[in-house]
């Protein structure tokens, strides 16, 4: 193991150190079982770092990695094991939180208290549209091991991506022009409160469905799916 550690990058070495420490603190595994798990993670990092991938891209944080190894039921779930609605909701909530905070701060420092583009209806539809489109694009561009048919040509998948980007940008611009009568602008503090409430729902949704990862869980799930596909 010591030889492997010297071959790991500095960041990956730090990741392994924290991972092993947390694994020992949060489990009833024997020392031998911990070493087996740590060795598995090290070997995986040694293989992937040569491709320019970091531990954070593969496992997330050390805490997330520990959760994966201590909860086999959660770990077993891959990208295509989740329903589209579950992934789209997670992504939409993330977008909603981001835009709610941006809207709130923008209005707080803006002289125009009735900024048309910062209406509540625009916010809700931008989040729903963006989450659905992004989820659809990621699922379309990620190799699906469950698919019976062959994957579509790369060129066609990139056309889907371009169409999705155009659709989202077009929707963003149109929604930003909705009239005040159907798209009222709320006080800045309300947007901040809505963002905080969305964060609570965001955490609850992730805990319920076992979603882990960064701000966009689907992105990390896609990276893992691509990595597994490249090994076959």
* Tens digit of each residue's pLDDT (9 = 90 or more) over 145-160: 776 665 666 677 778 7
CA distances in angstroms from 180 to 121, 137, 167, 172, 190, listed in the order given: 10, 32, 23, 16, 17
Distances (CA, A) of 65 to 4, 87, 88: 19, 20, 23
Cβ atoms within 10 Å, residue 112: 10
Please tell me which residue, 121 or 72, carries the higher pLDDT value: 121
Q: Which residue has the higher pLDDT, 230 or 57?
A: 57
Q: Taking residues 42-68, report their average pLDDT.
A: 84
pLDDT band, very low/low/confident/very high, at 173 (cuts 50, 70, 90): confident
Tell me if 186 sits within 8 A of 100, measured CB to CB: no
**In Å, how far are 25, 91, 115, 117, 126 from 106, measured between CA atoms?**
43, 22, 9, 11, 17
d(CA 215, CA 202): 10
d(CA 231, CA 44): 11
Q: Does 193 score more than 90 pLDDT? A: yes
For residue 182, the model assigns a pLDDT of 86
Could you report the per-residue pLDDT of 93-111, keeping only the tens digit for each? Answer: 999 999 999 988 888 887 6
**Which of 10-19, 109-118, 130-139 is the least confident region?**
109-118
- Helix 84-109 to helix 188-209 angle, to the nearest 10 degrees? 160
204-230 average pLDDT score? 83
Would you state the pLDDT for residue 75? 47
Six-digit token string for 32: 């031998």
Distance, CA of 170 to chain centre: 24
- Percent of the chain past pLDDT 70, that is, above it, reads 87
Q: Which residues contact 213 (CB under 8 A, 6 or more apart)?
A: 60, 64, 219, 220, 221
């Amino acid at each position: 193991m010591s030889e492997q550690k010297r071959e790991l990058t500095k960041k990956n070495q730090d990741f392994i150190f924290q991972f092993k420490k947390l694994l020992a603190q949060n489990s009833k595994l024997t020392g031998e079982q911990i070493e087996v798990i740590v060795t598995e993670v090290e070997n995986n990092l040694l293989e992937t770092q040569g491709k320019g991938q970091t531990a954070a891209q593969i496992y997330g944080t050390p805490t997330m990695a520990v959760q994966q190894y201590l909860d086999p039921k959660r770990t077993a779930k891959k990208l295509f094991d989740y329903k589209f609605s579950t992934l789209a909701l997670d992504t939409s909530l993330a977008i909603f939180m981001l835009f709610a905070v941006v809207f709130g701060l923008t209005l707080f420092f803006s002289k125009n208290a009735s900024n048309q583009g910062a209406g509540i209806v625009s916010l809700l539809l931008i989040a729903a549209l963006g989450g659905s489109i992004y989820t659809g694009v990621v699922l379309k561009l990620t190799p699906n091991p469950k698919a019976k048919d062959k994957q579509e040509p790369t060129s066609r998948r990139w056309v889907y991506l371009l169409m999705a980007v155009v659709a989202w940008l077009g929707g963003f611009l149109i929604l930003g022009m909705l009239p005040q009568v159907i798209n009222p602008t709320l006080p800045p503090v309300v947007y901040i409160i809505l963002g905080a409430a969305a964060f609570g729902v965001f955490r609850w949704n992730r805990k319920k469905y076992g979603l882990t990862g960064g701000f966009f869980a689907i992105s990390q799930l896609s990276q893992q799916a691509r990595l597994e596909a490249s090994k076959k």
